[in-house]
Structure 1
Amino acid sequence: MPHVWIPGSRDAWGATLKKGEPLKVGVLFSLTGALAVPEEDSTLVLQYAFEEINKAGGIGGVPVEPVIVDAKSDFSVYSEKTKELILREKVIALFACYTSASRKAILPTIMQRDHLLYYPTCYEGAECTQNAICTGPIANQHSKDLIPYMVENFGKKVFFVGSNYVWPKESNKNAKIWLEQVGGELVGEEYIPLGSSEFGPVLNKIRDAKPNFIFSTVVGASDVAFHKQFKQEGFKVDQMPIASLTTGEIETRAMGAEFGAGHFLSAPYVQTLDNPTNHKFVEGFLKSKYGKNGVTHYNMEETYLSAYVFKAGFEKAAAAVGFENVTPRAIRDHSGGIRIGDDISPEGEIWIDENNFNTWLKPKIAQCQGDGTFKVLKSADTHVAPDPFSIYPESGVCTKDGLKAPDGKIRKGVI
């Protein structure tokens, strides 16, 4: 369950913009360590996006200057460097984190300074912070569709495997409810340390339990190891596929297409989406100096979108309060309802919810092919609203002012 974080004092940003000077933003992802597999590409695609924005005239007529820091897959480093980026570098926004554990490590600082975090990947929901804008899907926008799809097509028995931190565990609370709703059966649940590459004991338990499919919330280098050992241990993808919320083109390229082929992913974006904007994005990014890893990916695309959400939010705030009066909180307060059209967004139009500042998007279910690309098998007909408290209705509803409980009381800073 979420809890309320109570700051000792709320310090303002403590900086002032000057017309003509670059807009400094913090970019805090892991370039080394167990989380580098997805997070290096987040750093690369942000550089691409800001270069693209700067070539088109910048934001408010000034260029964006990303301050890039390696978090080294260490939660204490995320926390330490967040403070440095805000206090020393005076960045106006922070683009950071792939895991919920790292996000929760930096949110107290973000909230104390009334700053602004762009969190550009999937997460579990159950937060209402007033200081974060999230461009990836939450639980009701991917596993809610994926669990019924897998039960219908492969059978009712499922084994949960996840990395051992808050996102997999909270995501699986959601998945259990949706599994029960379709008459499924949970035959096992295991968590392995973040960064671990040893899945022998888990695979032995899976072999004994004989599920129809595996639901995976394993991330980073561990995800690569899990898929490789699954095949090496003799498991057959057509008999027991892995359905994941995280295994996309980056992970598949890292493990080798033969280890990913046949498995499933739920995400709003895959590289093979057939529309002019995505074709332009894929071609432009891969030909650029930032496309060294050879693929695009759902997490990268969500990160790319976060740069344009920031641009739109800043420009809207500047129009309302004046360029030099824009603060991190002003950007957030003017970001509700912002739309990124299908001329910019590779996945098609998306928009920021006016109350909870998560993203309306179209969930998709895709299957990895023999060449490592993903084929979309099912796509939502309409945009799905983000619902951070979908399995906690007793907690209330996230509004722009805080979490509104059924009794009408509003709590701020729920994380």
Structure 2
Amino acid sequence: MTSPTAPGLAAGRLDAESIAAGFADLHAPLDPHEVLVAADRCYFCYDAPCVTACPTSIDIPLFIRQIATGTSAAAGQTIFDANILGGMCARVCPTEDLCEGACVREAAEGKPVEIGRLQRHATDTVMARQEHPFVRAALTGKRVAVVGAGPAGLSCAHRLAMLGHDVVMYDARIKPGGLNEYGIAAYKSTNGFAQREVDWLLGIGGIDLQTGKALGADLSLDALAEEFDAVFLGTGLGGVNALGIPGDDLAGVADAVSFIADLRQSTDLTTLPVGRNVVVIGGGMTAVDAAVQSKLLGAENVTIAYRRGRDAMGASRYEQDLAASHGVKLMFHVQPHAVRDGAIDLEYTSDDGTGLRGTGEVVSLAVDQVFRAIGQTLTTDGGLVVEGRKIKISGAGRTTRSGVWAGGDCALGGDDLTVTAVAEGRDAAMDIHATLMEGN
């Protein structure tokens, strides 16, 4: 495998202008006329399937009607009542599989109402205003610790603060935002939106944000449970699974999550080295984000290698097509067999109904950079029951430990999506509030 200083990995494969064009906003905001045209396409369905398909149950027909009648700020309020991170979700949600996929105009015409872009218009309208759209209830005197300032933690903290509780929110990284800040493609969230959204959310007050403090290192669950009236864990999944093959530890083999985080924090993308031949192992959104961004940085040949078929990929068909449109090759039914100097061996797979297994047939690809995108692992402490790689929960995020709730990617159940994490954080906050206020 080529070392980071060898010719295989190089920075500046494309000039600054080309990179800027490639990383421009994937879904630019609608102009005022486009907003009205898009809103006019909505049928305002009774028992709208788009609402059912939304994990946060936003009243989509209502907010689109509000836009259509010239009250976009009211539409934004409708969205934020259900989903306080509605601005980011408008940018990163797989709407093609959720609300827009369920739209009756998609079923009838193959072209849904542009719900995501209308949601962005409404939320951007509210966020551009000076005042925060929510006020805190009377203070309860209760204190809650929220560990993890990602989508689940932010959603939980905001709802708790709105209900009158004081919140201390911790995060292991220097910047809050979690995957919204570090883990999604740069072309989906441009111009520092993730941090602007956090700053806006904190405008409600009552949330003390403390960064650079990690559970298991700087914080212990036992101490938090002793100090606070309740604890919510929204830590996400910290570790990354290894390939478990010869050559996994060679230079040039890296985690896709780390690559995306480095890219998101870079102030000059022309300085980021990328391989000439890149292979990404995995089939989820992270794999697509790593592959497409490698191509946008100037990689010549980029391949996503996935062990199952297209229909089993975690990435939506839209994301798969997006990758293909950028020249990324998708290989199915192959799994990594070995990484060697300048090449990766992929073994073809089959499933006869008894489980996936290698066929023994191997194909080799030239490669100087390999990214692992095959799932992440849980990092926690405090004796919580874990099933698989996630914290076991019941109801609205209750863990097996009294006084401790969890939600988002670290918790069992639900899709690993920003919008799902927001819903779980919100619902846990409501359950925490009900528990703390019992008898009051």
Q: Same fold (TM over 0.5)?
A: no
Higher Rg of the two aligned structures: 2
